Amino acid sequence: GENVEQHPSTLSVQEGDSAVIKCTYSDSASNYFPWYKQELGKRPQLIIDIRSNVGEKKDQRIAVTLNKTAKHFSLHITETQPEDSAVYFCAASKNDYKLSFGAGTTVTVRA
């Protein structure tokens, strides 16, 4: 089955700096790559996603890039703010709807 690895497991950044989280996947047939944000005690919520026919997607301060050849994708958060502190999960999926998640990255934004 699909194996998704996520790095780093923890990330501490100064407010205003950028944060980058990287994920690799094993199944070349995967074609959908969402990112979820989970605040403490809350449910995961989709923040951005990308499909395999697109190399990059941006939404305000958040961007995701995909390298299909290397089978890795990354989340970029620019101008980080205290409310960006959360656990971020990457995931990968094929058409069969089995969604495989990475282990998560705990992001702390220092004021």
Partner 1 sequence: EAQVTQNPRYLITVTGKKLTVTCSQNMNHEYMSWYRQDPGLGLRQIYYSMNVEVTDKGDVPEGYKVSRKEKRNFPLILESPSPNQTSLYFCASSHWLAGGGETQYFGPGTRLLVL
**Which candidate, 28, 29, 23, 44, places its Cα nearest to that of 91?**
23
Residue 6 — left, alpha, or beta (φ > 0 → left; ψ -120 to 50 → alpha)? beta
Choose the stretch contacting partner 1; rule: CB under 8 A; options: 14-22, 54-62, 70-78, 88-96. 88-96
**Which candidate, 13, 34, 11, places its Cα nearest to that of 102?**
34
**Minimal distance, residue 96 CB to partner 1, in Å:** 7
**Minimal distance, residue 47 CB to partner 1, in Å:** 11
Instruction: Establish if 111 lies at the interface with partner 1 (CB under 8 A).
Output: no
Residues 17 and 25: their CA atoms lie apart, in Å, by 27
Which of 7, 11, 49, 78 touches partner 1 by CB under 8 A?
Answer: 49
Binding interface with partner 1 (CB under 8 A) = 1, 6, 9, 31-32, 34, 43-46, 49, 51, 89, 91, 93-104
